[in-house]
Amino acid sequence: MDADINVTKADVEKARQQAQMRHQMASDSKGDYSSYLQKFNQEQNEHYYTVIPNIFQKLQDMEEKRIERVGVCMKTFADVDRQVLPIVGKCLDGMTTAAEAIEPKTVSLHTQVCKHTYTHMPYGMHYSLKQAVSCSPHRVSEGACQRNWGRSRMGVWTGWGVEIKATHP
């Protein structure tokens, strides 16, 4: 505008005011930028040097408590296991003693007498067995070999407690 002769004083004043206004806006923008930059730097420092370390410290504290509780649980498990092992050992000793006391001949004889699968009843007899009878003179335990015996149609003893009247011509 300085080189233009036809410019009026009002135009110059208007241009000067616009320049001052732009200069003021630039100055305000620099101030705002500076304050936001300081605020951002402060928040960034707080984030990296205060917030994140606090989070990591809390995580470490939680992990330490978890590890401590796992240790307590393992110790409790070991103590309970130590208390139960003698009982388990006694059970295993009893099983071993019982296994060593088995007499195969006596047990097989007892099984044969108990099952009576090889015995036939004579034909032409009426019978009805309703009560449980002891099937062996060598009982292993009370009631171990008691059954209700019935007769099948083929004349063979069965152990199903069936009551059949046998008549054969």
pLDDT in tens, 137-165: 444 444 444 444 444 444 444 444 444 44
Least confident of 51-55, 103-107, 125-129: 125-129
Give the model's confidence band at 51: pLDDT under 50 very low, under 70 low, under 90 confident, else very high.
very high
Q: Output the pTM of the full model.
A: 0.41
Please answer whether residues 129 and 149 qualify as being in contact, where contact means their C-beta atoms are separated by less than 8 angstroms.
yes
3-state secondary structure of 11: helix
Q: Return the H-helix or E-strand segment holding 69.
A: helix 52-100
Of 22-31, 55-64, 66-75, 109-118, the range with the lowest mean pLDDT is 109-118
The whole-number pLDDT of residue 67 equals: 97
> Which is higher by pLDDT, 75 or 105?
75
The whole-number pLDDT of residue 116 equals: 62
The CA distance from 73 to 63, in Å, is 15
The predicted-structure confidence for 13-27, as pLDDT tens digits, reads as follows 999 999 999 999 999
User: Which of 108, 107, 118, 109 has the alpha carbon at shortest distance from 159?
Assistant: 118
What does the pLDDT average to over 99-124? 73
- The full length of the chain comes to 169
103 versus 70: the higher-pLDDT residue is 70
User: Is residue 121 within 8 Å of 160, Cβ to Cβ?
Assistant: no
